[in-house]
Structure 1
Amino acid sequence: MTPLPDVDVVVFDILGTMVDEPGGIERGIRALPADPARSHTGDLLHLWQRHVDERQQDILAGRRPYTDSTAIDQEAAEHVAAAAGVGDTDAIRALAASAQRLEPWPDSVSGLARIAARLPVMGLSNAGHSALTRINAHAGLRWHQVLSAEDVRGYKPHPDVYRLAVANTGLAPERLLMVAAHAWDLRGAQAVGMRTAYVERPVGDPPRPGDAFDLSTKSLDDLAAVLTGD
């Protein structure tokens, strides 16, 4: 396959795109010492996800001061544990930590390595720095650079997060390719002039009919083939 021309740096979303975030949290919920956690895992996962999304939206809207992802995950864990009838602090702490013990998708490590052999690869995540250290170590993801939305005290899809990646490369935004399994993330990157590649994952936000991304692939291996020409 012909490599995509004029791309100098490949920027990857991490949560959902490179690692199975919902799966890790589900495992943490199932480990809670309560029957509701085992019989209503899906509902409790949705409760966690809604809490995180609402808190991030509050921060983006200026209704709440910036709080990093680790603190928000702790809040979500406490919220879920309360709904499951769990009050044990060690169990809640373990549940919160499950958000940083996330498994990579089967092609994440190999696909990233293939692309990194040809082009600089950068992680760009809403996860805070301390969380990213643990997430990347657990999943075995190796980057040339990792950036966190914590650096701009915000969250994607705020444009400042994508501009952080652009500023750290010293390149024009159109020389960067943003890779994500979330169409909302790619729209945010497009808004600052970055090129975009959607990678299909079992979780994420599929493109809408009106979306027009530069690339759309079934897997990271397929993306690696396009970017490397192999």
Structure 2
Amino acid sequence: MAEIRDIEVVVFDVLGTLVDEPSGLRAAIRHAVAEPDDASVDELLTVWQQHVELAQRRIAQGHRAYANTEIIDAEAAQQVADRAGLTDPATVARLATAGQRLPPWGDSIDGLARLAERFPVLGLSNAGRTALLRLNAYAGLRWHQALSAETVLAYKPAPEVYRLAIDTAGCPPEHVLMVAAHAWDLRGAQAQGMRTAYVQRPVGDPPTGADAFDWRFGGLHELVAALAAG
């Protein structure tokens, strides 16, 4: 079992772990669509999410050249617009940047600030470089460094994305802690030798019985307390 006192650098997933991605996208869709009801907004959100998932999967499988999240989000926004009958270019363009305006979870800003007093803290996100910059500014996320998967032209859980974080951390992977609300993300990090911590979020991908992550926490305050005690 890993010892928490051995952790030297903490790496955070961003989308879903530190910001509420579905809530932010849902709010942008609601703003764009005339007289929306909850059912139609949820349907359009599903259209968006399915396009993003499919696009990233096709890139991972080599069926599509790499495209960053700004391009994929613009495609998703156009699909939503087509389904909802939106024709105003400015409205569609605004919707395309919805992924750059996502609200932080209630413990994200304070948790990052407290951890940053004791550890180098990195963000590691599938969001493209420009999108990640603007998202960090909007949500008030403060990092020692924020890494975009765009740097290696891949999407998590591709191994090269986690190796980017390990190389940046400058220490052995067993001293680097990956924190995420998505079990699939932690599995990818674990495969590269990183330590793993699952943080529960309402919109995450919870571990299965087969997952053996190093730690599990109900929120960032539990994580901060455990690392401080170590």
TM-score (norm 2): 0.96
1:63-102 matched pairs, under 5 angstroms = 63-102=63-102
CA RMSD of aligned residues (A): 1.3
Match of 1:124, SS state, is strand
1:67 positional shift: 0.2
1:15-26 matched pairs, under 5 angstroms = 15-26=15-26
Residue identity (%)? 56
Structure 1: state its 5+ residue gaps: none
Distance 1:33 1:196 in 2: 40
Deviates more, 1:178-187 or 1:29-38: 29-38
Which residue matches 1:219?
Answer: 219
Check the 8 A contact 1:37/1:84 in 2, yes or no. no
Match of 2:26, SS state, is helix
Distance 1:121 1:24 in 2: 24
The one-character-per-residue Cα deviations of 1:13-55 (angstroms, maximum 9, x if unpaired) are 0000000111110001101243457641111111111100100
Residue 189 (structure 2) pairs with residue 189 (structure 1):
yes
Check the 8 A contact 1:29/1:37 in 2, yes or no. no
TM-score (norm 1): 0.96
The one-character-per-residue Cα deviations of 1:71-113 (angstroms, maximum 9, x if unpaired) are 1001000001111111111111111121110110000000111
Which residue matches 1:105?
Answer: 105
Which residue matches 2:135?
Answer: 135
Aligned amino acid, residue 146 of structure 2: V
Distance 1:124 1:168 in 2: 11
Which residue matches 2:11?
Answer: 11
Aligned amino acid, residue 119 of structure 1: F
Which residue matches 2:155?
Answer: 155
Distance 1:45 1:227 in 2: 36
Which residue matches 1:41?
Answer: 41
Check the 8 A contact 1:37/1:44 in 2, yes or no. no
1:187 positional shift: 0.2
Check the 8 A contact 2:33/2:84 in 1, yes or no. no
1:62 positional shift: 0.6
1:190 positional shift: 0.3
1:213 positional shift: 0.6
Match of 2:127, SS state, is coil
Check the 8 A contact 1:36/1:84 in 2, yes or no. no
How many residue pairs were aligned?
228
Structure 2: state its 5+ residue gaps: none
Check the 8 A contact 1:69/1:128 in 2, yes or no. yes
Residue 209 (structure 2) pairs with residue 209 (structure 1):
yes
Distance 1:35 1:54 in 2: 29
The one-character-per-residue Cα deviations of 1:143-186 (angstroms, maximum 9, x if unpaired) are 01111100110000000000000111221111100000000000
Distance 1:69 1:20 in 2: 17
Match of 1:5, SS state, is helix
Aligned amino acid, residue 56 of structure 2: Q
Aligned amino acid, residue 58 of structure 1: R
